[in-house]
Chains A and B, each alone.
Chain A
Amino acid sequence: MNLRNITADKLVALYRNGDLTATEVIQGVFEEIEQTDKDVRAFITLMRDRALEDARRVDAKVAAGEALEPLAGVPVAIKDNMAVRDVLTTCGSRILENYIPPYTATAVERLRSAGAIVVGKTNMDEFAMGSSTENSGFFVTRNPNDLTRVPGGSSGGSAASVAGGMALLALGSDTGGSVRTPASFCGVVGIKPTYGRVSRYGLVAFASSLDQIGSFSKTVHESAQVLEVICGFDHYDSTSADTAVDEFVKGLDLPVKQIRIGVPKEYFVEGMDAEVKAKIQSAIRLYESLGCKIEEISLPHTEYAVATYYLIATAEASSNLARYDGVRYGLRQAGNGGLQEMYRQTRMAGFGQEVKRRILLGTYALSAGYYDAYYLKALKVRTLILQDFQKAFERVDVILTPTAPTVAFKIGEKTEDPLAMYLSDIFTITCNLAGLPGISVPCGRNSESLPVGLQLIANHFQEGLLLRVAHQFEKAGGFLL
């Protein structure tokens, strides 16, 4: 059963009316995965037995006339950097290829409590470091829209699972665009909530001041449903925000007339694909027709964002990844020397090239003599980037940009040049540096039928507004521009 033409709310209604059973749907999903994932390769681990067990529980509830949870029997995929108890959690890395966590991430736990059925763990760039899912320690995931192209990254497996009809919803994580870029490349909705909005308990840390869990779905309505479930305070995460979670679904149809949308001139730079630019301009016109007020704004420090991001993210990563030393987790290469030798041998064998490169860069930026020149300077520029947004949000409610400068690129196109790969994140990383919520929604396709993504950014904790503005765009036909 391919899930391309159904949404979570419709599926739950079909269960409720007894028109479909969860068991037949989940069985169908695994048949679909068997077919489609031969080529796409979105999943690292499938959880068939557990999923079918969960499905039988949903069917028993229906049979007993019990009320169903909001996401009862809805098949979801989880990025492989989130812990699921007793299930392999690799983070896309050889260093964790045998790691089985004894606990479950809060976001996953909450989805399961809302009735969702986890069907598998998805492929990703190793430790979420990458923009194409080509840096996985295991295999490359392909874009379901065109198998010669990347799905984007680092949550490429999760995006591809939804776009390929193998899951209805998926969780990903977004440190510099890792939910929004793959959503854009695969033609689905991807949202990164405000920093601190979703508990990161059970999420493998990459860059702790930037990481945030987000979701994938085909419609904005489903994203609103997922966010209602996963957002909210969790005392197992000391950076978790204690802010009330609005009823996102209820707010979707509130009017958007008079909403002020800012278009930053710095995001329409040279080198942007002409077809992407044209689609974004059509999106702006659509919003105008909905009665929104479009205003040109300036985010003057945008050009420094990539440099700032790669110093901060790598510095934090070099510290976070120090724990993979062969003592506590996964792989251990003993060597013949002592402890130091074991550390080095383990890390050399377990980490891939990009991870090593980033650990080296981060260690360099933090090392004696360079701390002030690189790391501290980046933290200061981060303040300027944050101030740019604060000023902008005095004038506008939402900021509109392309999600990426191009459509999905070819597999192998950027693997030889790390810097070119970094620059593909240019429009998404500012959100992470400023801790803001951002969403990528489909905005039509180019002449090769490849999806284009539109990014909307709101102020801290304004996910409700963001979802509403995105939903009205979808309703007005924006996804098919």
Chain B
Amino acid sequence: MKISEADVEYVAKLANLEVAPGEKKELAEQLSRIVEFVDQLNKLDVSAIEPTAQVVTSVKHAVRDDRVSPRTGSSDAGKTGKLFKVPKVITER
């Protein structure tokens, strides 16, 4: 599978990345080579195989109690003021 410069542009947009015009050609070539390499997985018939998203060993999927507990080195980020300063997120169209 070849990746075109248009593909690079499209995927970059999805990933919130800006790719400089000069980089597109090289990235398309490099990604094409990698995608051609991973295409070797097509040699395997995996239609009857279950996917493994995570090797769950003895993890209990721990969800801890929702209570505040002191911890050395825990976040003090909110202690300095009542508000966090963030950039303007609403813009005019």
Contacts and interface: CB of A to CB of B under 8 A. Distances in A.
Interface of A: 85, 102-104, 109, 194-196, 209, 235-236, 238-243, 301, 303-304, 306-308, 310-311, 318, 322, 325-327, 332, 334, 337-340, 342-345, 347-348, 351, 356-357, 359-361, 363-364, 367, 374, 376-384, 386, 418-419, 422, 433-435, 460-461
Contact of A332 (B31, B87, B91): B87
Contacts of B87: 326-327, 332, 334, 339, 342
Interface in B36-93: 37-38, 40-42, 44, 46, 49-55, 57-64, 71-77, 86-89, 91
A318 B31 CA distance: 15
* Residue with the highest number of chain B CB atoms closer than 10 Å, among A102, A242, A308, A318: A102
A243 B58 contact: yes
The 7 closest A-B pairs by CB, nearest first: A435-B55, A338-B91, A379-B51, A104-B73, A380-B46, A348-B18, A307-B38
A327 B16 CA distance: 13
Contacts of B89: 339
Given A307-B41, A348-B17, A379-B52, A357 B27 contact: yes
Given A102-B76, A196-B59, A240-B59, 10 more contacts: A236-B64, A238-B63, A242-B59, A307-B38, A322-B16, A347-B18, A359-B17, A360-B17, A384-B49, A418-B30
Contacts of B73: 85, 103-104, 109
B17 A344 contact: yes
Contacts of A361: 31, 34-35
A377 B16 CA distance: 25
Contacts of B74: 103
Contacts of A347: 16-18
Contacts of A103: 73-75
B70 to A, nearest CB: 12
Main secondary structure of the interface of A (DSSP, over half): helix
Given A347-B16, A384-B46, A243 B52 contact: no
Contacts of A364: 3, 7, 11, 31, 35
Contacts, number: 160
Main secondary structure of the interface of B (DSSP, over half): loop
Nearest to A347: B17
B2 interface: no
Nearest to A304: B41
Contact of B86 (A239, A327, A386): A327
A383 B57 contact: no
Contacts of B72: 104, 109
Given A304-B44, A364-B11, A383 B52 contact: yes
Contact of A196 (B57, B76, B91): B57
A435 B67 CA distance: 31
A340 B88 CA distance: 11
Nearest to B80: A102
Contacts of B53: 209, 379
B65 to A, nearest CB: 9
A374 B34 CA distance: 12
* Residue with the highest number of chain A CB atoms closer than 10 Å, among B38, B41, B91: B38
B12 interface: yes
B49 A360 contact: no
B19 interface: yes
Contacts of B64: 235-236
A306 B38 CA distance: 8
Contacts of B51: 376, 379-380, 382-383
A461 B58 contact: yes
B15 to A, nearest CB: 4
A103 B7 CA distance: 40
A430 to B, nearest CB: 12
B15 A359 contact: yes
Contacts of A357: 27, 30-31
Contact of B31 (A301, A327, A360): A360
Given A196-B57, A318-B15, A364-B3, A386 B52 contact: yes
A343 B16 contact: yes
B33 to A, nearest CB: 6
A127 B7 CA distance: 25
Given A383-B50, A384-B46, A356 B41 contact: no
A379 to B, nearest CB: 3
Contacts of A308: 41
Contacts of A433: 55
Contacts of A241: 57-59
A24 B43 CA distance: 61
11 contacts: A103-B74, A235-B64, A243-B57, A303-B40, A307-B41, A318-B15, A356-B17, A359-B17, A374-B38, A377-B42, A382-B51
A243 B62 CA distance: 13
Contact of A242 (B7, B33, B42, B62): B62
